[in-house]
Amino acid sequence: MVSRGAGTHGQVRAATRSRTQEAACMLIAVAIGCRQPATTPPTMDTDAQSRPVVLSIEVAGDEEIAEGLRLLSGEWKARSGGEMRVASTSLETFLAADRLMADLVVFPSRLLGALVERGDLRPMRSSVLESEQLAIHDVYPAIRNGEMRYAGQAFALPLGSPPLLTCMDSRLAGAASDELPTTRTWQSLGALRSGAPYAAGVATPRRGRAGAIALIARALSYTEPPRRAEALFNADTFAPGITQPPFVRALREIAEESPATAAEPTGDFTAAANLVRTGKAAAALAWPSLMKGSDGAAQPASLAWAQLPAAGETYSRNQTRWEVASSPRNLVLLGVEGRLIGVTTETRNAVSAFTLAQWLATGDIAVQLSSRSRGTLWFRKSQAGAVAKWMSANGAPSSDELTSAAAAANEALNSDSVVLIPRLLGIDEYLDKLGSAVASAAPSEEAATAELAAAAQAWEAITDRLGRDRQARAYRRHLNLIELQGR
């Protein structure tokens, strides 16, 4: 009994020790587990790893880009295993939405500031901008350092942006289109109608936003180069600058060269360029991708392309007088069109969204997608050999035309002195009001002055409605003078 009892007590003690050790091990395991990172559900910055990611892209105002994205959805699925769903919407619907619900958005570059100020876009990640795949230094400086940046930060990746250029009948440039002088002035272009078989000298849009852009391009050329970027608004008070002498002269000249009562009024840049292509005008403002699939005569004229005309005189604000431009500098104007792709703040799949944006903006995919649109142009130096893709649809342009278009666009996009259409809330409203002045102006200085004064009043009303302080801050951010703080 004693032996059995001793054995029983020993077994009990052993069992007790075993249970104690097990409990201790469990406590240690729990303690260690508490110190390990907990598994968390996907957040706005983390993609789910266990399922294919579905990314939505909203395209504003460019059905050609939207269709191109749909055609690429299969290739993206084969590459990533995920899905890409594309929706196309009008600019009006896009801007009227309280917030953007898609993962990514493709939009006209002039809307970048409005989307950032509304809090719709995430800044581009440094890992994307610095990646070898993106090859950011292959992107032209005018876009890399200008159009894709706002308030000192990159908020989108480029899909191409055309600088506004001059196109003209290549027969006026001599035997070879590259003989077109890049220092041709606005006055010399306006005189081309004299003694030539054209119904118009310079075909200039007189309606809508195109009319406003045509006026801005000429007026900024008449502005001293250091003041061009801030010519439309005062950077401190946000007062309109469109009543200044450069704008008055530009509007008077446009009204003289392209009367609003003309039998064939010019509606937009495509219509203006087609007048040159069909031999009805000597020159126009346009960009090469507009000519893709354009209407033509039986033997359409070959076009020569060049920078925007220089100004023989510029207005000195300090001296309050016109002065001869000793070294005329051609204006480089961006933001007339152009497409950017950005990642929204609403996405819960940011990692995949940034990867998709980078994929669409690089390599052959970028060429395939961008070249579908008339609102884009080649935007990388490595795309120089594919220029014809942006200009060809129903037949390729002549080699001379391709050469002059490439030279003019490359010169503009390689510039560091670029002026951007102000990227403001309500920018299209401002442009529409200015376009009304261009459409109505009679060919006299008094009429131009009165129309611009009325447009300036309309601009002030827009500013007061949207908030003067808010717009002034946004304008300084557009100029990259201040960072994005206290939105």
Q: Of 360, 266, 330, 286, which Cα lies nearest the Cα of 71?
A: 360
Identity at 89, one-letter amino acid code: T
**pLDDT of res. 276:** 87
pLDDT tens-place string over residues 275-323: 888 888 888 999 999 987 655 444 567 889 999 998 989 999 999 999 9
Identity at 146, one-letter amino acid code: G
Cα–Cα distance, 434 to 446 (Å, whole number)? 17
With a CB cutoff of 8 Å and minimum separation 6, the contacts of 330 are 182, 183, 221, 307, 308, 309, 310
Locate all alpha helices (DSSP H) within 39-145, ordered by sequence.
Answer: 63-80, 91-96, 112-117, 126-129, 141-142
pLDDT-derived band at 125 (thresholds 50, 70, 90) equals: very high
Average pLDDT of every residue of the chain: 85
Q: Of 133, 163, 147, 144, which Cα lies nearest the Cα of 365?
A: 133
Locate all alpha helices (DSSP H) within 371-481, ordered by sequence.
Answer: 387-391, 399-413, 427-440, 445-466, 468-478
pLDDT tens-place string over residues 376-401: 999 999 998 899 999 976 556 788 89
Q: Residue 90 in 3-state DSSP?
A: coil
Token representation of residue 285: 């403002």
The mean per-residue pLDDT over the stretch 140-165 comes to 97
Is the CB of residue 276 less than 8 Å from the CB of residue 284? yes
Token pair 């299969």 is found at 74
Q: Where in the chain is the domain with CATH 3.40.190.10?
A: 54-161+339-374, 165-334+417-465
List, as one string, the DSSP characters of 92-103: HHHHHSSS--SS
pLDDT tens-place string over residues 168-196: 888 776 533 344 444 578 877 766 655 55
Strands (E), 67-183: 83-89, 104-108, 149-150, 153-154, 157-158, 165-169
**pLDDT of res. 302:** 82
The mean per-residue pLDDT over the stretch 47-55 comes to 71
Report which secondary-structure segment, H or E, holds 45. Answer: none
* CA torsion, ordered 85, 90, 95, 99, to nearest 10 deg: -20
The mean per-residue pLDDT over the stretch 140-146 comes to 97
Token representation of residue 382: 């490595």
DSSP state of 444: S
Residue 39 scores a pLDDT above 60: no
Report which secondary-structure segment, H or E, holds 331. Answer: none
Reported residue count of the chain is 487
Cα–Cα distance, 387 to 179 (Å, whole number)? 20
Q: Residue 303 in 3-state DSSP?
A: strand
DSSP state of 420: E
CA 29 to chain centre: 56
Higher pLDDT pick, 250 / 23: 250
Number of Cβ within 10 Å of residue 193's Cβ equals 17
Cα–Cα distance, 375 to 379 (Å, whole number)? 12
Cα–Cα distance, 342 to 148 (Å, whole number)? 10
Cα–Cα distance, 254 to 250 (Å, whole number)? 6
Q: Residue 277 in 3-state DSSP?
A: helix
Domain at 165-334+417-465, CATH homologous superfamily: Periplasmic binding protein-like II (3.40.190.10)
Give Cα separations from 90 to 58, 62, 426 (angstroms): 10, 8, 16
Angle at which helices 208-221 and 427-440 cross, to 10°: 80
Report which secondary-structure segment, H or E, holds 357. Answer: helix 350-360
Higher pLDDT pick, 483 / 172: 483
pLDDT tens-place string over residues 207-255: 899 999 999 999 999 999 999 999 999 999 999 999 999 999 999 999 9
Arch. (CATH architecture) of 54-161+339-374: 3-Layer(aba) Sandwich (3.40)
pTM for this prediction: 0.86
